[in-house]
């Protein structure tokens, strides 16, 4: 369900999961791309006495059309994690005749897996310091380039206009 706030902020449903089946690209009667795959969601429950408990995963139909379908087929593979924006809708399954629900995605965002093992990684402060020093070095290099790119200006005898010298090509 899509809602809009008084300030114009558009809000839509979203889902987080993993691609549980190979994405299939087909085309509608109008020739628009249509993407379909099964998405899985892992569920967990926190018990104050036992800690986190894994619950059975659930599986859901995901469909996307047009640009979202093209993006999905190019960027999503089986077992990839993703976030999708869109809406949940009911439909009638053509094969069984039963009412089912599917998530109709209008946007996908692939989610890169975060490494669990961070051994050998520099602490965040060191990484930030190095990024700052690289920014400074980059700015200094840019200033040197700009200085070297300046072309001397010459004033012709019959005109008070400034003209740029033509670049010389060494052959």
Q: Which residues contact 47 (CB under 8 A, 6 or more apart)?
A: 53
Q: Are strands 13-19 and 99-111 parallel, antiparallel or unpaired?
A: unpaired
d(C-alpha 58, C-alpha 167), whole Å: 66
- Of 33-42, 88-97, 117-126, the one with minimum mean pLDDT is 117-126
d(C-alpha 152, C-alpha 162), whole Å: 10
Which residue has better confidence, 133 or 153? 133
- With beta carbons less than 8 A apart as the criterion, state whether 43 and 56 touch: yes
Q: What is the pLDDT of residues 31-84, one digit of tens each?
A: 999 999 999 999 999 999 999 999 999 999 999 999 999 999 999 999 999 999
- Of 17-26, 57-66, 92-101, 162-171, the one with minimum mean pLDDT is 162-171
Question: Could you tell me what percent of the chain has a pLDDT over 70?
Answer: 64
pLDDT at 9: 87
Strand partners, 44: 54
For residue 5, what pLDDT band results from cuts at 50, 70 and 90? confident
Select the CATH number that applies to the domain covering 9-111 from these four: 3.40.50.1370, 3.30.1390.10, 2.40.50.140, 3.40.50.300.
Answer: 2.40.50.140
Is pLDDT at 17 greater than 60 in this prediction? Answer: yes
Output Rg (C-alpha) for the chain, integer angstroms: 28
- Domain ranges in the chain? 9-111
How many CA atoms lie less than 13 Å away from 114 in the CB half-sphere? 2
φ and ψ at residue 88, rounded to 5 degrees: -90, 130
How many CA atoms lie less than 13 Å away from 56 in the CB half-sphere? 2
Average per-residue pLDDT in the chain?
Answer: 80
């Amino acid at each position: 369900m899509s809602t809009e706030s008084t300030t114009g902020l558009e809000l839509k449903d979203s889902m987080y999961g993993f691609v549980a089946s190979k994405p299939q690209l087909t085309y509608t009667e109008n020739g628009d791309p249509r993407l379909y795959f099964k998405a899985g969601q892992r569920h967990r429950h926190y018990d104050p006495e036992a800690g986190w408990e894994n619950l059975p995963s659930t599986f859901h139909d995901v469909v996307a059309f047009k640009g979202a379908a093209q993006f999905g087929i190019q960027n999503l593979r089986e077992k990839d994690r993703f976030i999708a924006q869109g809406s949940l809708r009911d439909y009638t399954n053509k094969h069984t005749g039963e009412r089912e629900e599917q998530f109709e995605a209008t946007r996908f965002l692939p989610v890169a897996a975060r490494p669990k093992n961070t051994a050998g990684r520099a602490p965040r402060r060191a990484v930030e310091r190095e990024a700052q020093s690289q920014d400074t070095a980059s700015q200094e290099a840019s200033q040197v380039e700009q200085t070297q790119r300046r072309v001397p200006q010459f004033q012709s005898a019959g005109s008070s206009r400034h003209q740029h010298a033509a670049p010389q090509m060494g052959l």
